[in-house]
Structure formats: structure tokens, C-alpha cells
Amino acid sequence: MSNRSDANQITRDYFESLLIEMRHMDGVLPDTSFELFGEKFDTPIMMAALSHLNSCCDDGMAEMARGAKAAGAVNWAGMGDIAELEGICKTGARTIKIVKPYVSDDEIMERLEHAEKNGCFAVGMDIDHSFSGRGEYDVVLGLHMEPKSQQQMKRFVSATKLPFVVKGVLSVTDAKKCVDIGAKAIVVSHHHGILPYAVPPLMVLPDIVKVVGGQVKIFVDCCVESGYDAFKALALGADAVCAGRVIMDPLRKEQAEGVRKDILRMNAELKGTMARTGCAKLSDIDSSMLHQRLGW
């Protein structure tokens, strides 16, 4: 019997509930190019802020970065040490570094500064690791976390010249606060089911877009496995998506080349869907193309 509280399964089911209509007349070949923070990429399908990928292959984080670069995609880096980030940046992949909400604000500031000095083109914070499932402050790999106030977050945003991204936003309430602190982007995510019964990102996405759309870039994370998933997220107002666990098996089998191939596979699916829905460019994708399966 399936676990009805599993937020990942709920999210996957929600993706599957959305159906796509076709529009062929006056169609053109689509362009999936994507601009972010003044830079142009080949696809809006980005890496997720993964970490500790050495279980997949040697130097897994750098291999993922090489694959993202080869596919013309944005790379992300999650939790990891300073040396690992330096190795990621040396690949030349355009990387967004996400920092955990460590107890020490000084440590956060040091990591933001290090990311900027090493060539990351954006930085941010993962706010959803503030608490454990037991209602205590979180501890991740022995490192202590705590929730941050808006005043603290404003200080982090002001500490860097780079665009600041807040990851782990799953409500209009937090999305508004991200605008107030000066963030340039948010990641709508439940961090791979960190909260049982968490609302699927695509379900809350339209409300977030309605309130903060145009003020910040909006990315969607969690259970993105294909270009069809990406199309659905973009149709509901996302600017881009993050693909995480789906690339781990290709990374394990073929390292950077596996990642490159999987990003290209997903982008081809996105491009094919755009062609069959009359979308010449990403901004042409909208919610009128989606219909929800009965039962939702």
C-alpha cells in the first residue's frame, strides 16, 4: 500500500494529473533559450542544488557541473566544503551556490563571500532545513541549523553583489517575505518531501506567481523528471525548473556525459511539447494549455 503522506508521491501524482492540449496550426520550430541574471542558456532545465554526489562517482559534484556546462544549462551546488566548490567553479559551469541556515551568521557570510570570489553567478540559502521533523532545530551531518529572521536574511542579501536566491519556499507567505528582503529569485520546493503531506509545488505555484510574479524569478524543484514536467511548470508561471535525482543514475553510469545526455533528453521533450502546442518561445507557454484529469 502506498504511503499517502509521502510528499514526493503526492507531487508526482499532481504532475501526472495535468494534461496538455495540442495546437498545430501556424506552428513554428521552438526556441528553448533561457536568460537568467543577464546570461543566456540553452534550456530552462537546470541542475538542482544537490550535494555529496561522490556516492555516484568520483568527484561527483564537479562531474555534474561539467555535464551541465556541456548541455548549456545552469548548474547549482548545495551543501559541501570550500574545496569542493572551488573544484565545481573551475569547470567553468555557471553555478548558483546554496548555503544552509547555519547557526553562525558569520559562517554563512564567509561561505557567501567565498562563492562570490570563486565565480558563482548567484548565491542563496536553503531555508527549509531550519527545523527537524521533531520540531527541534535541525542538525545536518553534525552541523547545527536555525531559522533566520527577515532582518538576518536582509543582511545576507546585502552582503553580496550577486543575485540572492531563497530555496524552500512553499507558500505565498514566504514568497512575499522573499520579495521584502530583496531576493532576486525563489525555489518553490518541499526539499524532496521534508514535510509529510506537503502541498505539491505546482499546486501552490499559481498563487505565488499571482502575488510575486515579475518581482522575482520563480523556479520549481521536486520530482521534475522530464521535459513534459518542465512544460507544465512553465505553463503555471515558473521561469525555470531544477532537475535533481533524475540525473543521479546517468551521473553514476556515465559521469558528466550522462548528465549532459539527460539534460538534452529533457530539453528535447520540452522542445517537442512546445512545437505541438504552438509555442515559439518559452514565454508563449501558459496555463490555457493545461487541463486537469478528473479526480483532482
- For residues 227 and 235, the answer to whether their CB atoms sit within 8 Å is no
Q: Where are the beta strands (DSSP E) in 87-148?
A: 95-99, 122-126, 139-140, 143-144
Burial of 168 (0-12, 13-18, 19+ CB in 10 A): buried
| Dihedral sign, Cα of residue 225, residue 212, residue 93, residue 274 | positive
Sequence letter at residue 174: D
The total of other beta-carbon atoms located within 10 Å of residue 293's CB is 10
91 pLDDT more than 70: yes
Q: How many residues does the chain have?
A: 296
Summarize pLDDT for 53-71 with one digit per residue, the tens.
999 999 999 999 999 999 9
The total of other beta-carbon atoms located within 10 Å of residue 155's CB is 15
- Say how far apart CA 183 and CA 166 lie, in whole Å: 7
Summarize pLDDT for 131-170 with one digit per residue, the tens.
999 999 999 999 999 999 999 999 999 999 999 999 999 9
- For residues 262 and 244, the answer to whether their CB atoms sit within 8 Å is no
Summarize pLDDT for 175-207 with one digit per residue, the tens.
999 999 999 999 999 999 999 999 999 999 999
Alpha helix stretches (DSSP H) within the chain: 7-17, 60-70, 82-90, 105-117, 150-158, 172-181, 201-212, 227-235, 248-275
Check residue 245 and give its pLDDT: 95
- Say how far apart CA 223 and CA 244 lie, in whole Å: 8
Question: Domain limits of the chain?
Answer: 7-15+40-288
> Over pLDDT 90: what percentage of the chain?
98
Check residue 3 and give its pLDDT: 85
pTM value is 0.97
Write phi, then psi, for 245 (nearest 5 degrees).
-65, -25
Cell 512545437 appears where? 275
1 pLDDT more than 90: no
Give the catalytic positions in this structure. 191
Which fold does the domain 7-15+40-288 belong to in CATH? TIM Barrel (3.20.20)
2 pLDDT more than 70: no
- Say how far apart CA 87 and CA 91 lie, in whole Å: 7
Q: State the helix-helix crossing angle for 150-158 and 172-181, rounded to 10 degrees.
A: 50
